[in-house]
Chains A and B, each alone.
Chain A
C-alpha cells in the first residue's frame, strides 16, 4: 500500500512526477561511490523532523534498525508462512497445546555473554509483566512458558497451532541487560545488547549506522560491513526524488510509472518488485439491510469489473483479488481446487440481476428498486488520504451506478473512518483483509464471530460483523490441526464460506513497493526468488540482510 501523505502534497507530487517522466529518461545517474561496496544503504525511518534514538524492540516508535539487531526465534515469510530459523533451530508441537522450540547452541550476545534458554523465558515473562510490550497478544493465548537446557516450551490455553507464528517472532532480549531496566515500556535502549548480525555504530538525528557483529553465529552469511539508514523525508514528493536519485540500495515507496521514473534512470542496476502484500476489499455492514442478504452481496460482487478497479487504484501493478480470501499466487498451495477459476470473479450484469432479484431487488428504469419500493443506496467510507482506496471506491461507485445502485462516497480523516468502521455505524467501507502469510491468522482476524461486537462497541477485527458458526468451527479445527491434510480441509471450508457467503467483497491486492539497486549487493527478494516481502520496516529485513551477496 502507499505511504500516505496529505492530499495537497500528493497533488503537487503528481505535478512534479509529470515533469519527472518527461525529463528523467534521458539523464544518467551518478553511481554513489561514496557509500563503498561494504555499506548497505536502506531508506530509513521517517525523521519528522529528526530521528529520535530508540531501539527498544517492543516500542511502537522504535527505529527500524532494531530488526537487524534483535533476533526472534524464527521468522515466517509473510508470503507463504515458510520459516527462516534464527535463535531456534526448529520447533514441534508435542500436542496441540504444547509447543517446543529447540534453541540454537553457541550463540553469543554482542557483549560476549552466552545466550541461553533463560533469556527466552525472561523475554516472554517480561511481556507478561508489562502488557504494553505485548503487541502480538502472546499472553492472551499462552498459559505458561518454561526453558531448560536447549529447549523452550510454550503451553497454550487452548489448541492454537497457527499462533506459533506469533510466538516465533517475539524479539529476544538479554536477561543480563534488561533485568535492571526499571520501566521497559519507556526504555530507549541506546546501547542494544543483541544476538543479531549488526550492532549499533553511530547515531545522528538524520542518519544512524549499524556495523557488523563479529560475534554473530552466522557471521559468514553477512556480506555488508555496515548498514546506513538515512532518514526519510516528511513528504512523498521529496521521497520519490530522493529514491530515484539512486542513493538507496533498498527503498520502499510507491512510484507512479515505475519503469520510466525509476528503472530507466539506471536500467543496469535499478529493479523493482511489487508483490501483493494484502487484499483491499469493500466491507459491507452485515448488521444492516440489504447488506445482511447474501444474494445482495453476491449481486454487488458480480457487478464489479475488478481488473478496471485494480488498474485505477494501483496502476495495474497488481491483479484483481481472488474471492477465496487467499492472496494468490502467494498462498497457492492452500487453494481449494474446487473453487472455480481460482476464485476470480468475472463481471456479469445478468448474473448480478438474478442475485439481486433473489434479494428482492429489480432493475426498473435504470434503478435497482427493492420490495419496499425504494432504490438501493450505499455510502462508502474511506480515509480521504488513502489515495488508492479512494480511486478504487470511485470506480466501484461508477460500476454499481450502472446496475442501478445509488452510491455516494464519504472521505473523512482516518479518525472518523475508524470510528465509523470500528463502531459498526457505516454502510460500506474500504478496508484491508489478510496479508499475514498464514490462512488461519487472515481468516481469524477477518471472520471470527467472537470479534463481531455489538454495534457501537468498537472492534478492529471483523468490523463488518460476520457471524457464522461453521466459520468458527473451521477456525477451531484449523487451530488444533497439526496434520497437513486436516489443515488443508479446514482452510478449504473457510475459502468456501468466503466464496459463497461473500462476507467481504474483495477487490484487488494491495502492493508492497520494493525498489532495489544491485550495484553493491545482489540476492534481493524478487518474483523469481520470493522468499519474503520487500518491506524495509518489518522483520523481513533480517531475512533479507542475511541473504545478500556482494555484487562484485
Chain B
C-alpha cells in the first residue's frame, strides 16, 4: 500500500511540473504568432507590409496580459477543459480541432505499436532461443537493416514506389478526397487502404527495438540456473523457452511497451507529415510552426498526461508482474 501511495504522490508532482513546463516552453520560443503568420505570406512571394502585420495582430487577438495572469488562466482552462480558440484554426475550439485528429492517430499509431510489440517480441524470443543459429542471424540482420531506416525516409520510398510509380496505394491523406468521415463500411475500408503505407512504415521501423530488447533479455535469462534445471528435467524446449525464460525476460519489455502506448497520442510527426495523415502529429507540427500557443498547450497537455498515466499504470501493473517490487 505504501508503494502505491508513494507512486500516487510522485504522479501528482510530476504532473504539476510537466503541466507548468508546457506553459513555459512555448513562450520561450523566439518569435510570435503574428510573425509566423507573416512568414507564411512572405514565403508565397508577396511583399509584406506594416499594415498587414497590424491587421493580423488584431485578428489573432494575441494576449497582452502578463505571464502570471496567463498562467492562472491556463490552470483554469485545464480544469474546465476549455482551451479557447487556436490561432491556426480561429473558427474552431482547440478541443474540437484535437478531437478531430485524435482518433486517427490512436488507431494508426496505437495499432502499429501493438502489432510491432507482439511481432517484435515473438521474433526476439525466437532469436534468443536459437541464438547463434541461422534463424537468429536472419532475424538480427533483418531487424538491424530495417531498424536503421529513418521512418520518414522509408515512408517517402514506399510512397514513391507503391503509391506513385505503381499506384497500388493512395498518395496522401487518411481517406479519399471529398469523403466525409463516418462509420460506414465504404469509408472504413477507404481509411484502411489509406493507412496501410503509414502503418507499414511505422511497424517496420519500430519492430527492431522490440526484437533486440527481447533477444538480449532472453539470452540473459537463458543463462540462469533455473533454466538449466528445467532443461535437465527434460521439459520440452518450447515449454522452457516460452513459460520459463520468456515470461521473465518479458518484464523490461512490458515497461517499454507501456511507455510506447503512452507516446501513441503524440503521433508520429514525420511519418504523418509524409503521408499527410490527418492525425495529431501533423497538428502538432502546424501548432509549433504557427506559434499557436493555445493549440500547443492543449496538445502537449494531452501528450504528457497520457504519458504519465501510462507510466503510472505500468508501475501499478508491475506489482502484479514482479513480486520483488512489492517490498
Contacts and interface: CB of A to CB of B under 8 A. Distances in A.
Interface of A: 1-4, 8-9, 12-13, 15-16, 19-20, 23, 27, 47-50, 52-54, 59-61, 131-137, 140, 185-186, 188, 202, 204-207, 209, 228, 230-231, 233-235, 237-238, 241-242, 244-245, 277-278, 383, 386, 412-416, 418-419, 432-436, 442, 445, 451, 459-461, 510-512, 535, 537-538
Interface of B: 29-32, 35-39, 42-56, 58-59, 88-92, 97, 100-101, 104, 152-153, 156-157, 159-160, 163-165, 171-173, 175-181, 270, 272-279, 282-283, 285-286, 291
A93 B282 CA distance: 50
B302 to A, nearest CB: 15
A512 B45 CA distance: 8
Given A2-B43, A231-B177, A418-B31, 17 more contacts: A4-B43, A47-B276, A49-B278, A49-B282, A54-B91, A59-B90, A131-B58, A135-B52, A135-B55, A188-B91, A278-B47, A414-B35, A418-B39, A435-B46, A445-B49, A511-B45, A537-B44
Q: Which of A13, A59, A242, A277 has the most CB of B within 10 A?
A: A242
A337 B303 CA distance: 63
Contacts of B173: 206, 231, 233
Contacts of B176: 206
A233 B276 CA distance: 5
Given A16-B160, A132-B58, A460 B45 contact: no
A235 B276 contact: yes
A468 to B, nearest CB: 19
A238 B276 contact: yes
Contact of B274 (A9, A27, A231, A419): A9
Given A52-B89, A419-B30, A9 B152 contact: yes
A413 to B, nearest CB: 7
A6 to B, nearest CB: 8
Contacts of B46: 278, 435, 538
Contacts of A436: 47
Contact of A49 (B179, B181, B279): B279
B30 A238 contact: no
Contacts of B39: 383, 414-415, 418
Contacts of A242: 171-172
Nearest to B286: A48
B50 A461 contact: yes
B279 to A, nearest CB: 6
A68 B101 CA distance: 29
A226 to B, nearest CB: 12
B175 A206 contact: yes
A209 B129 CA distance: 59
Contacts of A230: 177-178
Contacts of A277: 45
A460 B178 contact: no
B281 to A, nearest CB: 9
Looking at A186, A277, A415, A459, the one whose CB has the most chain B CB atoms below 10 A away is A415
9 closest Cβ pairs, A-B complex = A415-B31, A137-B51, A132-B58, A1-B45, A49-B278, A233-B276, A49-B282, A207-B177, A414-B39
A451 to B, nearest CB: 7
Given A9-B152, A460-B48, A415 B43 contact: no
Given A415-B32, A416-B31, A132 B55 contact: yes
B227 to A, nearest CB: 45
Contacts of A442: 47
Given A131-B55, A137-B49, A207-B178, A415 B35 contact: yes
A206 B178 contact: yes
A140 B163 CA distance: 52
B56 A60 contact: yes
Contacts of B277: 49
B187 to A, nearest CB: 11
A442 B35 CA distance: 21
A185 B138 CA distance: 62
Contacts of B37: 60
B285 A234 contact: yes
Contact of A50 (B100, B157, B274): B100
25 contacts: A3-B43, A15-B156, A48-B282, A48-B283, A49-B277, A49-B282, A52-B92, A60-B37, A61-B89, A133-B55, A137-B55, A206-B176, A206-B178, A230-B177, A230-B178, A231-B276, A233-B171, A235-B274, A237-B156, A237-B159, A238-B275, A413-B31, A418-B31, A418-B35, A445-B49
A451 B50 contact: yes
B51 A140 contact: yes
Contacts of A205: 100, 180-181, 278
Contacts of A185: 58-59
Contacts of B152: 8-9, 12
B315 to A, nearest CB: 33
A20 B43 CA distance: 25
Contacts of B50: 451, 459-461
A38 B137 CA distance: 59
Contacts of B49: 137, 445, 460-461
A199 B141 CA distance: 58
A274 to B, nearest CB: 12
Nearest to A230: B177
Contacts of B291: 415
Contacts of B283: 48-49
B163 A241 contact: yes
A511 to B, nearest CB: 8
Contact of B45 (A131, A237, A278, A419): A278
